[in-house]
Structures are given as structure tokens and as C-alpha cells.
Amino acid sequence: MRGLSLLVVLLALPACDWAAADGPWNQPSDDGPQSTVARVEGRICEPGGLRDVPGIGVRLLDANEEEVAVVTTDPWGRWDAELPSGRFSIEAGVGGNFEAYDAVLVDEGSDGNAGVLCLERGTPQSLLFRAPVAESTDLLGQRLSGLGLAHVHEGPGNASEAAQILASPAGLVEYGIVALLGGLDFSELASAPGALDGLRDHLAGGGGLFLSADAWPVFDALAPGSISLLAEPASGGWVLASIPSEPWAMQLQWPDVGVPVPKDALLFELLDGESLLRADVPAGEDGAIVTADLLVRVPVDAGTVVLSSFLAPPPRADGWWMGDPVEEQSPNGVWDGRGAVLDRVLLQF
């Protein structure tokens, strides 16, 4: 599946003192000396080619398969790196559910533009477990379909059958992303050793696990001590959520987004991990304001676990990306950023 096209890029720059310091261009190579240092610029797009992808890792390897540079795309999907003369492989999103591969030749006549490289639709599939009550409210499956995964399968809607699938030796082998959404008995699921072992194997293999707020017992079993459940559930309504992680805020391009928090949604405080959205939320019968982490991301083994206190909206009619803040307004005038946030999270699994 690796589409490999040769691009001639880069404008060679004159050698200078800083370029003569230690670096991969000064290491011995079967291809001869590598003394020229120049800047490569490229862009990564999503599988459909319509939108650029922020926050995706890009690796550049030399002819000996040695890593020369590791960079991350900016909010507009762009990346750049300084490279010596030679031929380099470009690997984007490796290890995730969306990957892309290319190559670049750096020589004296190159122009510095590596062009656009689109991620390929991953062969791993997605598996969703949710009770019928959640089918019309949490539309994460539609968002996953819009991202171009090969298949989105619906798992059983009760905890006992879900535990059997999770505990099966081959239960999650085909799936890159597993989602446990609303309505199941998650306490029962979290107390099933075989189910937890299956999820741990999934994460150890680099898989992604998306959990609704109700599934916090599973989250706590897989990443103990990472979150604290707040005493009162949400009163319901729209809140303005900030983005505490500076790299994440840069990827989103906006300092805050609007999020509707359902009535009685469970709220959390993150103790260890990455908070992607944080807000002051009315909670309890009296609507007292509490600070809650509405979307958190925690690494577990080689995989990632995400916990969300809000529901996934349907994709927009014109594509899976939610667009600019001026285009989507909530009832109280705050931009609805759920889709933009979730699409980026899913794409980075």
C-alpha cells in the first residue's frame, strides 16, 4: 500500500559554521559525503485529499534507514526539516490507523517543495460497543466512517456479550480503534478480567480506545490513578471549553470551543495525562460551577485511551471536518467545536 513517488526537492544552501557541526550529514555513508544542508517543506492531507492534517508525525530516513529528522505537522498540515544531500524516505503517521509513504531526493538543483502527501485509509477497522439507547445520540461511528476507515462494526449492546468478544484471542486483532459508548454496564465490563486483558493486548499493539464518560470504570482499570470522578454530574448545557495544551491549541488554531455537556454527564478531573478540553461546568441540582476536564488522552503501553464527557455530533454534509469557527454556532453563540476536536483526536490514534 505504500505509494512511492520520487520528488526532487530543496534549494541547496551554502555551507556555514553551524552546518559543519555534529549532525547526520557528517556521518559516514555508503553514498559518499553528505555536506549540503537545505530545508524541505511539505504538506500532509487526509485520505480524501480535501483537508490538511495537523498534529501528524513525519519521519525522514536516509538511504541506510537511519532516522534523520522527526517533525510534526502544524495547524495547516505543513512540515519542514533540514536535510543533507541524498535520498530520503518520508513516513507520515506511522504506527497509527492512517499512514503515508513517499521519498525525496535532495540535490543541488532542487526547489525546496516536497509537495502534498495524503494519508492512506487504514486497513484496521473500527469496533463500537453501545446499547441501543446510545445509537441515536452518540454518533462517533458516523465520524469514523467519514474518516475513511475500512469498516465500522457494531458490537453487541450488552456487557456480557461485549466481554466475551473482548476476551476472545482473536477478538480485536482486526481493529485499530475500539469504542465503548453509552448504555452498557461498564462496571460489569471492568470487573471481567478477560475483557480487560483483551483491551490491554489491543493497547499494547498500538491500538486506540475511545470511551464515553459512562465507561470511566474501564478507563480507571486500564489507567489507574489518571482521573478523579467529580462528585456531581453536569447540570446540562453549553460551555466554553479552553484548550490547556499549547501544542493541541496550535493544531486546532482556536483558543477555545463550544461544547454541549449533556445533563447528568459524568465529569472528571485529570490527574495524569493530557487534557484536551477543560471547562467550568454547571453541576448538580444547584448548578454550582466546577472545573472539569471534558476530553482527556492518556497513553497506555503503546496505545492511547481517550475519555470524553460529551457526545459526538454527526459529520457535516460537506465533509468530515467541521470548518472554521464562524461557520458553526451553538444556541448561545459559541462555536460548536466538537467535530473538529474529535476528528483530530481520531486521526491521531
pTM: 0.71
What percentage of the chain reaches a pLDDT higher than 70?
A: 79
The mean per-residue pLDDT over the stretch 6-33 comes to 34
- Out of 111-115, 204-208, 231-235, 342-346, least confident range: 111-115
Task: Identify the pLDDT of residue 10.
Answer: 32
Question: Pick the residue with more confidence: 27 or 44?
Answer: 44
The mean per-residue pLDDT over the stretch 48-59 comes to 80
Q: Is residue 21 pLDDT above 50, yes or no?
A: no
Question: Pick the residue with more confidence: 77 or 220?
Answer: 220
The mean per-residue pLDDT over the stretch 225-234 comes to 94
The mean per-residue pLDDT over the stretch 50-74 comes to 85
Task: Identify the pLDDT of residue 306.
Answer: 96
Q: How many CB atoms lie within 10 A of CB 176?
A: 24
Residue 119 to residue 45: CA distance in whole angstroms: 6
Question: Pick the residue with more confidence: 315 or 333?
Answer: 315
Contact 312, 139 (CB under 8 A): yes
Question: Pick the residue with more confidence: 322 or 301?
Answer: 301
Task: Identify the pLDDT of residue 3.
Answer: 37
Choose among 43, 52, 106, 116: nearest CA to 80.
Answer: 43
What percentage of the chain reaches a pLDDT higher than 90?
A: 35
End-to-end CA distance of the chain: 19
Task: Identify the pLDDT of residue 35.
Answer: 55
Read off the pLDDT of residues 239-289 as tens digits, 9 standing for 90 and up. 999 888 877 777 766 778 888 999 999 999 999 999 999 999 999 999 999
Residue 72 to residue 236: CA distance in whole angstroms: 36
Task: Identify the pLDDT of residue 20.
Answer: 30
Question: Pick the residue with more confidence: 40 or 110?
Answer: 40
Task: Identify the pLDDT of residue 14.
Answer: 34
Task: Identify the pLDDT of residue 148.
Answer: 65
Read off the pLDDT of residues 67-109 as tens digits, 9 standing for 90 and up. 999 998 887 788 999 888 888 889 988 766 678 888 888 877 6
Instruction: Say if residue 144 is exposed, middle or buried (CB neighbours under 10 Å; 0-12, 13-18, 19+).
Output: buried
Strands annotated E in 181-302: 208-212, 227-229, 237-242, 256-261, 268-270, 274-283, 288-300
159-167 and 193-204 are packed helices; what angle lies between their axes, rounded to 10 degrees? 50
Query: All domains of the chain, ordered by start, with CATH?
Result: 6-118 (2.60.40.10), 125-347 (3.40.50.880)
Read off the pLDDT of residues 115-170 as tens digits, 9 standing for 90 and up. 888 887 655 688 899 888 888 788 888 888 776 665 788 888 889 999 999 998 77
Residue 5 to residue 93: CA distance in whole angstroms: 17
Position 28 confidence tier, pLDDT thresholds 50, 70, 90: very low
Cell of 222: 486500564
Q: Is residue 318 pLDDT above 70, yes or no?
A: no
The mean per-residue pLDDT over the stretch 324-340 comes to 66
The mean per-residue pLDDT over the stretch 303-328 comes to 72
Average pLDDT, whole number, for the chain?
80
Q: Is residue 233 pLDDT above 70, yes or no?
A: yes
Looking only at the bridges linking them, the beta strands covering 125-129 and 152-154 are parallel
